[in-house]
Amino acid sequence: KQEVTQIPAALSVPEGENLVLNCSFTDSAIYNLQWFRQDPGKGLTSLLLIQSSQREQTSGRLNASLDKSSGRSTLYIAASQPGDSATYLCAVPMEYGNKLVFGAGTILRVKS
């Protein structure tokens, strides 16, 4: 059974700091990994999708890495801004299915 763990559960940083969010998964037989953000009262917004053959993906100030063999992914946010405050979730699909399994998320607060 695939289990996804995110650390830390919550993080509060001053504006401008670089930060790292962690995601680990128990079954490395995945074909991609996705990072999402969720703002209060809203759905999830896809940030980055890393294919299993890739090591990292970048979008603006966001960089996600994937180490499939060790079952880990990190989301790096550079020069954090108050607008980055949200819950960040990672999700992996099952190898032979399309169901995404989500972590519980990291609640990020960037203080101005």
Positions touching another protein (CB under 8 A) are: 31-32, 34, 36, 41-46, 49, 51, 89, 91, 93, 97-105
Q: Least CB distance from residue 56 to another protein, whole Å?
A: 16
Q: Least CB distance from residue 48 to another protein, whole Å?
A: 8
Give me Rg for the CA atoms of the chain.
13
Nearer CB in complex with another protein: 11/13: 11
Nearer CB in complex with another protein: 33/110: 33
> DSSP string covering 66-94, please?
EETTTTEEEEEE-S--GGG-EEEEEEEE-
Nearer CB in complex with another protein: 75/101: 101
Which of 43, 19, 47 has the alpha carbon at shortest distance from 35?
A: 47
Q: Least CB distance from residue 3 to another protein, whole Å?
A: 11
Phi, psi torsion values for 94, nearest 5 degrees? -80, 150
